[in-house]
Structure 1
């Protein structure tokens, strides 16, 4: 195809310069007398998606995953990655220079403890580590007989000659009719939370929280409409925003008038000094607040309380306007995805569709809505064995055609001004094998178990995670990722604190949006994942003795009937899928073209019909 995706690059990651870059970093380490340097995949805000000037790990090693940490010593180097990226790391880095290490086998701290030389100094950038993260590094270094030491300048930055400039995308207001609450009211809620916790001020280090609290949006990073910056919200008085004046539009300034003071980023250190001198207890977000922030406040005599930013929980529970917006976004997005699935059904059996073709075509259908702002993350488009790589990212070097007899997995999402979407569908090209149908149906059963779950208030994501796994466990199978993550409202597609996972310790609350995405992956063969977004809502049960919650499914697009082994479904599960498909057809019928409408009618007919 001659089309090009607007938002996704297909360039092949390269480690061709990795040896020279690691050598340059080692020279900088030797010049400063340190034995090692830690390079996390992080920016100053611990963001999932980071600006180009913060892609230090990718520049140094060639690894482009969203999570990982390199530890470079004088004679060896490791890249520790979790299970999502084990295969990717091995393919992208020069393994003669950097050794990929699966997190399941060895943690960052364990590797440091085993390899840092006795008496060695492990250097780190205090802007890229949280206090808790630093404490783990300190314990590991001490166990090895060494110590950690902060650097005034990041050592990678010293040798990254052509490092990009900091981003300056325009900062604009997010309208109140979409936000559902004026920024002034949100800030009043934040101040009330500070007063209740007896805190004098909050340092807002998470750009997602800054964007939500002040009803602002930006474009400093890919896939999430964020303005990178900081804020200080005192219990009394006007908040201060630290944003580059060159990126703050006149409209944003007008919206902030009387609400907050705007300062250049360089003024942040002076503000931290003032907080310290004021002797008030200052809340620093445990998840995103850098060590550098804490040390600056404490050096000025202040008291830092490391804990959750109260904005995070407020942001997670969507209000009526945000819920209405996300419903509208999902209907629009569902039509685009359904047009894509109909196109795929026509084109793929002939072998004419590649993974890149699929990404480009899906993005085009979304763009034709006229309302697409960005894709929510790089689309995962995996055919056959590539579908078994959980976070596979197609490049020109890995691109392969979708072939008959294979499964094709596509995981994608979109950013619209009224909502954020995330959907995964797995489809059969040609006739699927009995094994494929069995595995697909077990994943579907787990998906339905989550979609239909009813649970009392106070239930955590960890308590219902196993609902999605039981059909797989019964066949001796499982998957190695969480069942669901939180999702924002025209913000991050991966939003905490809520999640459905073994580690999901936060109670689910009405208004929270989470994904429902169990999967199964047969290495070198195929991958299956079925994902819808669901909204936590109050529900009523006859005779219930406690307040109960359940889920409303937001995503609207068909599942592949050809992959359903009807004999494995219970009557209730069959009824759920038939009802869901009827709802999809009713919601999308007038949004799609006649050819897609015909396909949709067949794709959503009851399972009992041939």
Structure 2
């Protein structure tokens, strides 16, 4: 387990000279600019240090975004989550923040690129869908895209880290619920039904799920990087550093090859070859010499539909994690009381809070790692949606603050992700009103019943409606999918207005509405929920309805709830939830924390 570092991951002053070096290299390549994405060759959200090109160049460390570099301007495209963060991390003269998707890349290029400009891109870092969309949007402008032979950032990055080489290990059947052979047989059957001879897999979490392995190539995410070809008979060619597999014995139908053999193997495929145009690199798609079949990653949906063993593991992990979070909240409440009683002599900071929370999880004796770097933002820092505290930004908590703590754990039996916002002493009416509306949105989604076929895009508004009534909103999706001791952000399911994937039993998603007032405070409340068959209702039609079951167990700060604003069903849900939290966790807690939890979960 690696503990979180609080040193600043980047330095804004490094950006201008690196940008100048890149521009010189682009000129030598004969292009007028280039795209620097957040993605790596596997198109995952999380990247190894070697592939953190966007952060190295610009200083921006958010989990989504890209930079378009031209001769006299460099736009850093970020969505609403990162509009404050980009200002803090990037040199304001060298890099221009661009509010994306409000401003699309093609529109920005029309305004800033010279006539006839040629924009270079690394074909390993972009998908066919992505490039086709941009080319279509640029039609008629005279601006063209050109695939480059090498990555231009790599060419000017003198101390680029080596590729990750973590050892992989077996993920046991009792936690996976299905053997690799069963999974491969199902995938192969789907390929044959589609008339496909082979399918190319490029996403590490798909490889790990399919082969029932886990790895150590990405910080916080237990995956092994590599590529695979799944054949219609169920055989798999796996392309990775063989040294990573030294501790494993794979099935005889899984053959291991070095990564250098991947492209020749793809080129040699015959028959219909399937790729996922939303996740497969352009370089791989262009290598396929035979009939190309475009379809979603065949592992994505089966991976999202958790087995009984995976759901049982998730519930066990959330019990353990919930107890750790309660011990932390009990500690934080004591710190807040001491701070408010003697603010001149008692000091606790965001880093203190993040470290103590990690120590509470580590004390379980079963923590593999945290599932992402803890977000611990107090006061105005809480308004930075994905704020990462560093020694330079570390803020001492003050009476009247709201403290937002978004964190999670990676356990061998499950992945957790929870956010609670707590008061450091009495807070104002504006904070209480916003907190209550965020809580109402979370409750609304938690209580949802819906027919099969409904997507997260249909349900997203439920969590926003209480905020909308007051003219408020938040600039991120309401929920993301979560893996089973895999990525804390897992697709294809999500609760977002842009999601078109139907929710199915066994899927796990987060439920995390929020509200952020720049320069003042941030509020987010997050539970993980899983899709289950809805209980029957008297007199209801036979519509095979679905519902959500809450996995996360931790109290909400009742001091910030305006109970007069809650409806009777909302109060009933909250009281039932708090009763379950106390009943399920009390035997796992210290006596002092259990006594504290009894007060926090008493009926409203």
TM-score range, shorter chain: over 0.9
Quote the offset at 1:288 in angstroms.
1.4
2:353 is aligned to 358
1:292 corresponds to 2:278: no
2:343 is aligned to none
State which of 513, 537, 540 in structure 2 corresponds to 1:541. 537
Aligned mates of 1:377, 1:285 — CA distance in 2: 27
Preserved CA contact (<8 Å) 1:12 1:396: no
What are the equivalent positions in structure 2 for 1:467-506 lying under 5 Å apart?
467-506=462-501
1:86 is aligned to 83
Q: How many pairs were matched up?
A: 595
Change (3 A) 1:5 1:125: closer
Aligned mates of 1:428, 1:457 — CA distance in 2: 39
Aligned mates of 2:70, 2:556 — CA distance in 1: 49
State which of 257, 261, 267 in structure 2 corresponds to 1:267. 261
2:403 is aligned to 408
Preserved CA contact (<8 Å) 1:122 1:141: no
Quote the offset at 1:16 in angstroms.
1.4
State which of 147, 152, 156 in structure 2 corresponds to 1:155. 152
Structure 1 unaligned segments of length 5 or more: list them. Answer: none
Preserved CA contact (<8 Å) 2:438 2:523: yes
Answer with 471-480 or 597-606: which moved more.
Answer: 471-480
1:368 is aligned to 363
What are the equivalent positions in structure 2 for 1:383-402 lying under 5 Å apart?
383-402=378-397
Quote the offset at 1:142 in angstroms.
4.2
Aligned mates of 1:146, 1:262 — CA distance in 2: 42
2:521 is aligned to 526
- SS state of the match for residue 292, structure 1? helix
1:424 corresponds to 2:419: yes
- SS state of the match for residue 55, structure 2? helix
Aligned mates of 1:230, 1:557 — CA distance in 2: 39
Write the deviation string for residues 284-313 of structure 1: whole angstroms up to 9, x where unpaired: 11221000001111xxx3122222011100
Structure 2 unaligned segments of length 5 or more: list them. Answer: 340-345
1:56 corresponds to 2:27: no
1:592 corresponds to 2:589: yes
Aligned mates of 2:443, 2:324 — CA distance in 1: 23
2:290 is aligned to 302
Quote the offset at 1:139 in angstroms.
3.2
State which of 164, 167, 183 in structure 1 corresponds to 2:164. 167
- SS state of the match for residue 535, structure 1? strand
State which of 212, 218, 222 in structure 2 corresponds to 1:221. 218
Aligned mates of 1:163, 1:104 — CA distance in 2: 30
State which of 314, 322, 337 in structure 2 corresponds to 1:334. 322
1:466 corresponds to 2:466: no
Per the normalisation by structure 2, the TM-score is 0.96
1:311 is aligned to 299
Preserved CA contact (<8 Å) 2:512 2:527: yes
State which of 124, 129, 133 in structure 2 corresponds to 1:127. 124
Q: What RMSD over aligned residues (CA atoms) do the two structures have, in Å?
A: 1.4
1:605 is aligned to 602
Aligned mates of 1:324, 1:237 — CA distance in 2: 28
Preserved CA contact (<8 Å) 1:117 1:145: no
2:505 is aligned to 510
1:433 corresponds to 2:424: no
Per the normalisation by structure 1, the TM-score is 0.96
State which of 248, 257, 277 in structure 1 corresponds to 2:251. 257
Quote the offset at 1:120 in angstroms.
2.0
1:29 corresponds to 2:23: no
